[in-house]
Structure 1
Amino acid sequence: MTSTGQVHDHGGGVRSIEVPIPDNPLGTTLVYVVDTDRGPVLVDTGWDDPASWDTLVAGLDACGTGVGEVHGVIITHHHPDHHGLSGRVREASGAWLAMHAADTAIVRRARSTEPGRWLAYMTAKLAAAGAPEEHLAPLRAARPRSVPGLAPALPDREIVPGELLDLAGRRLRAIWTPGHTPGHVCLHLEEDHPAQLPGHGRLFSGDHLLPEITPHIGLYEDPDDTTIADPLGDYLDSLERIGRLAPAEVLPAHQHTFTDAPGRVRELLTHHEDRLTGLLALLSEPLTAWQVAERMEWNRPWAQIPYQSRNIAVSEAEAHLRRLVKLGQAEVMTGSEPVTYVAV
């Protein structure tokens, strides 16, 4: 792999651009530029921010092309550090945007739901999870307003799992890997590795499989849908599928490329197995999702976790609790308010 500043050449007509994420410890999103017979196709685009846009434009220039030449954009999932600049790229180039239907539904919901309704829904969800009044008070007092990232671009193409994407001269197959989001996809480049590394092609893994980070598993629910999802179960199943694929190299959306996908999958499966075992021990007494989140191990003590990050932590705690319920190892206490879980 050769590198020039924020642009890296991975060989075989694939480059990446490090696009900054403002005020975020992740630092950058790796936007991949895939050469095709009809022009460059991007895998993700980066955060919708002026500095990020300038970096993407300069990176495409450094790749010997330009933003106006982009033929298409494949979005691994709807998060703003991946999908944020898609609309601007389409405006500048006329490119198509492709996303899995499950994440397109989330984008459509974000665009159509009034901010006031989101606030009310979030407040009710956190109250049901056992959030204390001091955490709920700012939400109750907040004025409904439009928030950046809540009007993302609507895709105009659907990524169909198992099918080859429309990339002239390339073989890129979509693999549905729900968990991090309901419509997350990985993209399998079914071509020989340019350096002849052993394995089956290369995998654009989005946030599903990262070399040193455990992806967040949260809840993305429709306020009008009462279905109880099991995103952690979906994620673990998706991980095993990617492990069996055994690509020669993984090209993730953050950090750096890596090999031995099956080994990394085993590490993540063990991590979640250990976490579930630890949670089950905690549930020897009845606890809410908030109380569980307070007791879980994070990258810093609970007292140091910022407000918004606590919401994310509670969502992840609830995803793990739902997995234990699905496995028959825990149950929701009937009629509990806030919702309380206990080991069976």
Structure 2
Amino acid sequence: MILAPITLTGHAQKEAWQNKVLPPIEQLGRDVWSIPVSFPHNPMRYTLSYLLLGDGEAILIDPGWDSEEGLTNLTAGLRQAGLGLTDLTGIVVTHFHSDHLGMAARLRVASGAWVALGEREVRRFTASEDLDLVLSMHREELTLWGVPAARLSEVAMNRPSLVHLQNLADPDLRLSEGSLVPAQGLDLRVITTPGHSPGHICLVDEPHGLIFSGDHVLPRISPHIALELPGPANPLADYYASLDLIAFEDEMEVCPAHEYRFRGMQRRVAQLVEHNRARSAEVLRVVEEHQPKTVWDITRHLTWSRGWDSLQSFSLRLAVSETASHVVYLRSNGHAINVPVTHPHLVEL
């Protein structure tokens, strides 16, 4: 099937993406700014943070990864808008991932701004969490999926990464489906869009003709939809349902958290659905041709952009957990795939 292409609007952003440099700070309207924040040592390279100005309000969407370089990026963007860090009044984060929420705790201390997440977003690790138990359950999950013992240490999360997650900001506010971000002079409506995370949200700004899509809809890549235990029982089904919610029109400009801006939300949603349907079909072909015994066996027979051997550590963990989400989804649609996916000790939410 040949699907209609999206319309590029962030030309400078795409050029910067292709040249592997940080894109420029851009003013998208009188009261809206796009500010790239460095994402060090990661192929995504940066998070696109958005500043919106209201009546005495300065709201920042997705402040990005916490680093000195990123703080310098944000400070420069605020300065172009005539503001400083202390002028921030609110921080809205689309989901609980470090490249979105990471800077929030530091900015809250500097400005006194409140921090908001969607009401369904889950903090996987609290400050009081027993990290030894978390690590043990995570290894149990990976073993269930067939990750070889010799590669468990490579693929599994480690203590430093868990401590990092524990230190991310807790929200002051929770935003419900259909609610407005509490900021005078702004009209930011919340759409709950689970899939990439359990409580991911997008923000619709009809007066400015903008949709802030976080990681839910990106212009070039498909976001990672993982099965995480404990977690939602069928994240891919959740993703399809929330794609339907966000594809309500096709002309507003989409402001994603990575890559570059575009128009054509309905067209891009159609592409994402087609991509994931094709991936599920490939999983079924692998099951039929190879009779795999585990999720790992399925994963290693799938097509990967840089080849199976290129997947290591974090990227390998993403690959296995994404394959598990397709297995769960296909089972929910009546396909018999006889590989272990869930365990009674790994309770689903």
TM-score range, shorter chain: 0.7 to 0.9
- Offset of residue 244 of structure 1: 2.3
Q: TM-score, normalised by structure 1?
A: 0.87
Asked if the contact 1:177/1:238 (under 8 Å) is kept, the reply is: yes
Whole-angstrom CA distance in 1 between matches of 2:271 and 2:293: 28
For 1:321, which of 310, 316, 327 is the aligned residue? 327
Whole-angstrom CA distance in 1 between matches of 2:42 and 2:225: 18
Q: Say how many residue pairs are matched.
A: 323
Kindly report which structure 2 residues correspond to 1:1-344, keeping only aligned pairs within 5 A, or say none. Answer: 6-103=24-121, 105-106=122-123, 109-137=125-153, 147-191=163-207, 193=208, 201-222=209-230, 229-284=233-288, 285-332=291-338
The one-letter code of the counterpart of 1:183 is G
- Corresponding residue SS for 1:47: coil
- Corresponding residue SS for 2:51: strand
Q: TM-score, normalised by structure 2?
A: 0.86
Q: % of aligned pairs identical?
A: 36
Distance 1:11-1:326 versus aligned 2 partners, 3 A rule: same
- Offset of residue 149 of structure 1: 3.3
Moved more, 11-20 or 132-141: 132-141
Moved more, 36-45 or 293-302: 293-302
- Corresponding residue SS for 1:106: coil
Moved more, 294-303 or 124-133: 294-303
- Offset of residue 336 of structure 1: 11
Whole-angstrom CA distance in 2 between matches of 1:38 and 1:27: 32
- Corresponding residue SS for 1:318: helix
Higher relative contact order (CA 8 A, sep 6+): 2
Whole-angstrom CA distance in 1 between matches of 2:223 and 2:156: 30
The one-letter code of the counterpart of 1:234 is D
- Offset of residue 17 of structure 1: 0.7
Distance 1:166-1:302 versus aligned 2 partners, 3 A rule: same
- Corresponding residue SS for 2:174: strand
Unpaired runs of 5+ residues, structure 2, are 1-9, 13-21, 344-349
- Corresponding residue SS for 2:321: helix
Asked if the contact 1:202/1:247 (under 8 Å) is kept, the reply is: no
Whole-angstrom CA distance in 2 between matches of 1:233 and 1:316: 13
The one-letter code of the counterpart of 1:74 is V
- Please give the root-mean-square deviation of Cα atoms over the aligned residues, in Å: 2.5
Residue by residue over 1:48-79, the C-alpha shift from the partner in whole angstroms, topping out at 9 and shown as x without a partner, is 11211121122211221011100100010010
Distance 1:335-1:158 versus aligned 2 partners, 3 A rule: closer
Residue by residue over 1:281-309, the C-alpha shift from the partner in whole angstroms, topping out at 9 and shown as x without a partner, is 11122431111111122221111112121
- Corresponding residue SS for 2:166: coil
Asked if the contact 1:181/1:220 (under 8 Å) is kept, the reply is: no
- Offset of residue 142 of structure 1: 6.7
Residue by residue over 1:193-242, the C-alpha shift from the partner in whole angstroms, topping out at 9 and shown as x without a partner, is 4xxxxxxx3100000000101100013333xxxx7610011101111221
Aligned to 2:346: none
- Offset of residue 5 of structure 1: 6.6
The one-letter code of the counterpart of 2:263 is T
Distance 1:229-1:334 versus aligned 2 partners, 3 A rule: closer
Asked if the contact 2:295/2:339 (under 8 Å) is kept, the reply is: no
Unpaired runs of 5+ residues, structure 1, are 194-200, 338-344
